[in-house]
Structure 1
């Protein structure tokens, strides 16, 4: 009998955890049924079946043989900004994405060390600063943007690209995706997270969930930029108008993001002019979203912070916006494959990787693994990048 037909003994508690992970990751019904049969003892797993399910569930082969579920430790998950509801443990899709980003960050750090880069002095430089205006001023100065930078941008998509390029200029990696790697069958959950940041003195990395609206992505990017200056990892899940945080750092990052996105003086001047022209507050909220490239919730929150609308009005607006936010799908999905791939990858990372491959320090297989590409797609991506 071949070894792939050997009957295996797997621990029931581990099987239960694997089944729950597979269900959360929306695995095929046949996979769930087989795991359920193993858990109940009505069928016995074979080696070939475990190998197949390991591949289909994206759960490491060795995990199937543990006596209890693994204790995966990603420090960023300890900094989750969650609301008061219980969300359970992080999904396998999120953990796999964090793992991929940690690999990219480590590669980029080693590359920069090899190239003789110095530490990025601004990383963690504001860890003891609590004043919103002071932090906002430092962030603007480092990113080389003025207070009214948003006026240079024609829309939220342009504004996001503008800030992303500013991050690239100062050494912050910005990655973005709506699925795990290149697997379109493993979507990332917007309800679970909007962005996360992995702070490092050589290669700070921000990951944006592309399933958010472009306005939401912009706010998340600004929020996580502040975390780089404060020096703390973070997984951001709150609405961009939410201030109900248990940690003062989160409140600070949200307020600074709002101030950089919607400066107080500019916002109040806009709001008061708009209200003189329109009785309907909703018109001004929508116009604020357009002018400042922010979500309706963020605009309403800013109006509430400056006592332009009441708490009751704000709560009503948030309630009306919340369902649309939860059900939101990323804008501009689909389209040109290579454009989508380029939007996922930080340009400075892709350039560095291409240079390293050309110099013979990084193999092509390693480059393909880091970028979820193959020879054809990687070559095309690099060629497109060089053509810009």
Structure 2
């Protein structure tokens, strides 16, 4: 007979809900089966209510399915929520269901654990020295001072930004420069499958301003042209040492840190030279603004939303028109995502996609640590967010591409 585990049954409910799973989804992940008397979901509900015993084998499955350490299930009561760090999203800017926000909590918790493991690796390699850039600036210095500090550290000129082939090339340029100075940039918008997608209207990105292994996560469910702005916004968070989650780009924000980081990102991507090209459209309607932003966006390899943001921040368009334009851009992106893609068999491999999401810097540290026997394949897999059997293939793919 299976051995029963004695825990507060409410911990099973807490773990499931904070993993963003319904009873039906969780029952499937836990391999519970329907019977003549009860459905699989009803069985799980009975366990969560303490009406049915919880076996050790099922608890072990819950550890994996809910992405929780075993010890957390033995707590006397669920801990208070504090997983997101500071939530810089405002009430008006925060969207998404309870399930999506539970998935977001799980993603942040997972990335924090990976960051801590990476920090330990760097310290074991005697490379765990504090980075002087983390928390090196304050909002009192003003946005231009922070823009100048970031530009000097990245060593990227406005001319180089403008000379990039397109918005994707600009993001690649900025990401490589940030990774070179010790910041790890990840593209993550789910927990490993499209079934756990978290929309860009729930979070745009988040920064974990650790002084040894700072992480920036960008939601790759967002449009590719938007990623450069998100990256620069989160780098501003790193510079002022403010960890937390950021919401969608908009004109107004109730949070002073979000407003500041938005301004830094906007002024970096559209510097003084670009500002001189921005027309005064104070009397224009939304369609006119959209047409005007297209040319500037193409010139500077940014999204039209960034140009719109700069126009309204400089009071060259009204707040009402800006709000309407942002809604049009969001609707346009939702429609674009709904369009079915036609697979031709020539797309990138699973490992190429994973490598792109993880970034060269993170892969290089893990490879070096494996070669130096500082990391096991199991811990390397946890840092990279893949199965242990995939680690070597992932690193080989990186090596071939390089």
Pairing of 1:57-136 with structure 2 (within 5 A): 57-59=66-68, 66-74=75-83, 76-84=84-92, 91-113=101-123, 114-116=125-127, 118-136=129-147
Q: Tell me by how many angstroms 1:348 deviates.
A: 1.7
2:396 aligns with 383
Partner of 1:174: 185
- Indicate yes or no: 2:328 matched with 1:320: yes
Post-superposition CA distance 1:124-162 (Å, at most 9, x none):
111254412221111111110113332121111111111
Map 1:200-279; keep pairs closer than 5 Å. 200-237=210-247, 239-246=248-255, 248-269=256-277, 271=279
Residue 269 of structure 2 contacts residue 302 of structure 2 at CA under 8 Å; is this kept in 1?
yes
Change (3 A) 1:262 1:96: same
- The separation in 2 between residues aligned to 1:64 and 1:110, in whole angstroms, is 25
Residue 300 (1) aligns with residue 313 (2): no
SS of the equivalent of 2:245 reads: strand
Alpha-carbon offset, residue 170 of structure 1: 0.8
Measure how far apart 1:119 and its partner are.
2.3
Which of 142, 146, 158 is the equivalent residue of 1:147? Answer: 158
Pick closer, same or farther for the CA change 1:26–1:241 going to 2, 3 Å. Answer: farther
Indicate the RMSD between aligned Cα atoms, in angstroms. 3.4
Q: Deviation per CA, 1:171-225, whole angstroms, max 9, x where unpaired?
A: 1111112321x34433234332121111122221111111111122221110010
When residues 386 and 322 of structure 1 are mapped into structure 2, their CA distance, relative to the original with a 3 A threshold, is closer
Q: In structure 2, how many angstroms separate the alpha carbons of the residues matched to 1:138 and 1:53?
A: 46
Residues in 2 aligned to 1:142 and 1:328: alpha-carbon distance in whole angstroms: 36
Residues 313 and 116 of structure 1, relative CA distance in 2, 3 Å threshold: closer
- The gaps in structure 1 that reach 5 residues or longer are none
Distance 1:45 1:86, change over 3 A: farther
Given that 1:199 and 1:205 are in contact with CA atoms closer than 8 Å, whether structure 2 keeps it comes out as yes
Q: Please report how far the alpha carbon of residue 364 of structure 1 lies from its aligned counterpart in structure 2 after TM superposition.
A: 2.0
Q: Does 1:191 align with 2:201?
A: yes
Match for residue 35 of structure 2?
none
Residue 215 and residue 24 in structure 1: after superposition, are their counterparts in 2 closer, same or farther (change >3 A)?
farther
With over 3 angstroms needed to count, the CA separation of the structure-2 counterparts of 1:229 and 1:18, relative to structure 1, is closer
- The 8 Å contact of residues 135 and 256 in structure 1, kept in 2 or not, is answered as yes
TM-score after normalising by structure 2: 0.80
- Is the 8 Å Cα contact of residues 18 and 102 (structure 2) preserved in structure 1? yes
SS in 1 for 2:299: helix
Is contact 1:191-1:326 (8 Å) kept? no
Q: In the comparison of the two structures, how many residue pairs are matched?
A: 376
Cα distance in 1 for residues equivalent to 2:126 and 2:75: 41
Secondary structure of the residue aligned to 2:378 is helix
Deviations 1:208-264 (A, max 9, x none): 111111122221110010111111112111x22333132x22211110100111124
* Aligned pairs (5 A) from 1:328-367: 329=337, 335-367=348-380
| In 1: Cα distance, 2:171 partner to 2:197 partner | 22
**C-alpha deviation, 1:62, in angstroms:** 5.4
Cα distance in 2 between the residues matched to 1:3 and 1:178: 38
| Alpha-carbon separation, structure 2, partners of 1:115 and 1:65 | 36
Range with bigger deviation, 85-94 or 190-199: 85-94
- Does the CA-based 8 Å contact 1:22-1:57 persist in structure 2? yes
Q: Does residue 1:28 correspond to 2:25, yes or no?
A: yes
Q: Say which SS state the counterpart of residue 254 (structure 2) adopts.
A: coil
Q: CA deviation at 1:29?
A: 7.7
Query: Retained in 2: the 8 A contact 1:8–1:44?
Result: no
Mapped to 2, the partners of 1:293 and 1:184 lie a distance apart of 28
Q: Which moved further from structure 2: 21-30 or 220-229?
A: 21-30
Partner of 1:3 in structure 2?
A: 2
- TM-score, with normalisation over the residues of structure 1? 0.83
2:298 is the counterpart of 1:290: yes
SS in 2 for 1:197: strand
Tell me, yes or no, if the aligned pair for 2:305 and 2:326 is still in contact at 8 Å. yes
